[in-house]
Structure 1
């Protein structure tokens, strides 16, 4: 990937990030991933000295992950832009930091998949709504596709059976006309 991942704190831009941004001669395209309580408006203002700044943010960790998975910059193609059926997701809980490291390759290898956070016991409303938007629909036969795929990294202590079932239900192709999800299967 040609884009570097540079770090800031809530209220400060580290020297190494400043040096990397200076190399771009004032024409960097900078994406802040997170709301102002994670990266302050002051840091955002300081970053504008080095180029164009776009903030990708949600009100909580779940909506933030969805905002990043949904975002696509039309100017340069940066981002996932996952807003329609036929995509892949990697799901895990917010307290699974070490598991997130193991799941990271799913973001770029094989069937590409952005990381979406969920809760151990079920999908938060925002994640459920997002997955409902992505749920594929068929007219005549479920063989029509498209299909979604997901990776749940960890065991049933990480994401329990109830949550796994909800995820499976939201990924499954269903009739566009509604009705029995299993008709035609």
Structure 2
């Protein structure tokens, strides 16, 4: 009886091997996902705004005493923007600082073609509710900081981002559109 069971198992394994393609041919290479493309500038700008808003939400959720809360911020960044954020948040954590309040996006509009980035946003962010305090509770924010900050945000295409974009630069900007104080 045992030889019959073994024979049956061997036959089943052989049929299974043939059915799964064990034919000596190499398995096909898995395809590498390609970078996302957008059908229009409007679609790209919508993805950029969605990316930036997700980043600001993650930034507003940061607890400087808990570096694990930094990871959602880093997930939206690449290149210099990522390196800068990692350094800044690590330094703030090491200094024992705390963030109070939240940043609000007042304006986010697509930057006209011809900028240094494939997709870029002009942003006005309201930081009037945000304070950063040291371990003694003393603010470390400059007293002359404007309540609304004009920012230029550059993006790169990404296969790892749910929006198809990651932020590659975040820098102050001048010129239109103006951010009302």
Q: Which range, TM-score by smaller chain? A: under 0.3
**Highest Rg: 1 or 2?**
2
TM-score (norm 1): 0.22
More RCO (CA 8 Å, sep 6+) = 2
Which structure is higher in strand share? 2
